[in-house]
Every structure is written in C-alpha cells, then in structure tokens.
Amino acid sequence: MRAHPVIRWEITMSDTKPLTGKVALVTGSTSGIGLAIAERFLLEGATAIISSRQAERCQMVADDLAQRTGSTTHAVPCDVSDEAQVDTLYSRIDELCGRLDIAVLNAGISGGTTAIADYNLEDWQRVMATNLTGVFLTARGAFRSLRAGGGGAIIVISSQAGIYGYATKGAYCASKFGARGLAHALSEEGRRYNIAVSCLCPGTVETPILAATNTHVRHPLQPSEVADAAFYLAQLGPNSMVKDVLLERRHTT
C-alpha cells in the first residue's frame, strides 16, 4: 500500500508594511478612535494627515506620532462642518502629498443624553452639523480626490447607534444612521471609480465622547480595537468591498 506524501505548509512573513506609499486622511484624529487609527496606519507604513478643529493640538499630535512611529505626518486643521475649511483641507493634502488613497471620516460629537421631547433645536443642529453634514462634506471631498486619482478607500465611522436606536440619544442616533445611509449610497456610486466605501460601526468605546455622556459600561472596546478593524478595511484587495462592520464588545458582564 503506497503511503500518501506528507504535505508541509510553510508561512513566510513579509516585512513589507501593507500601507507603505499610501496617504491617509483621518478626521478627528487628535484623540480617541481617530488618534488610534492614525497611529495604526502610520505603523503600517502610511503617511497620515492629522486633522481636527484645534490647530495647535493637530500639530502637537502630528509631531508626537511622527516621532513615535517613524512615519510621515502632516497637520491640517479643519472644522468638518465648514465647507470652505473642508475644501482647503483637500487642497492642502494635494499640495503636501500630491495624492490621497484612504480617507477615514471619524470627526464627531456626542450630543449628550436628553430625551427627544426635551431636545432643543440648537443642540440638534449642532450634532447634525458635525456628525452628518461634516461626513457629507468630507466624503464629497474625498470622493472627488480619489476619483481623480484612480480609486481608493473611504471609511465612514458611524456607530452601533447607527444601527440601533437608544433612548436619550436620539440626535446622535439620527446623525449616525444618516452617516451610514450616506456611506451605503456612496459605496454604490464608487464602484465604477474603483472607490471602496465602508461603514464601521463600533459599539461602546472608551473615548472622550463616552466620558462626556456619563455612560458607564463594563469592558468597553478600546480605540486600538477599532483601529484594527479600520486597518482591515483599508487594505482590502482591489475586487473586494465591505459595506458594514458592526464591532461589538465580546464581554458585557
């Protein structure tokens, strides 16, 4: 009886960083999820555009990340709810880098914890301006840049609150549902231009936004875990696209 040959599998690990040569914009990247994503992308070889409303903090974070990761960073402050500033953001990226490959649209605010019946219009509009209009403006700019450059990836950071509604968080939920819907529409529009659009919906994450809502949970997700998911989406192959990633806590008790 002839013996079957023994098949030996050998896995060779490459030293190549998957995002080497890529330029990645991360909005809201001076704290929390955005900061973790920017750091992960830098460690994977990307050049990162650090952006938030605070110019001084943008530069401080960009300098710190560059020193710690050994990769190139650029600080470009931007209020995502301001159309003129968003236009300037993409003009500066073109001037600094000459290209854009990945845009992570993360900038957002909490909206507090108030029942819809007691919510005032000014607060509602403030949440929508950043969390929904801001996503529209930055997504539009990113799409135009990527279309001109032959393709790339857009990752919209929504939330588990963009899939499920929660009492006293109506404005935040509405903005995140809206951002997710926009991402889905844009993903269909991007197919012909080789632009992959994904929506990442984390559950409760230990961030300044969580602290601002006075929400207390056991075992919240860490920003680095969201960064892992964003990195996965950023380096998908040319013929694959993931529309939604719902990232939940494994342990809730």
Catalytically active residues, by annotation: 172
For residue 56, how many C-alpha atoms fall within 13 Å in the half-sphere facing its CB? 0
> What is the residue whose two structure tokens read 């050998």?
10
CA proximity to 197, closest of 236, 249, 224, 248? 236
Amino acid found at 230: A
Rounded CA gap, 68 and 175, in Å? 34
Expressed in angstroms, the distance from the first to the final Cα of the chain is: 56
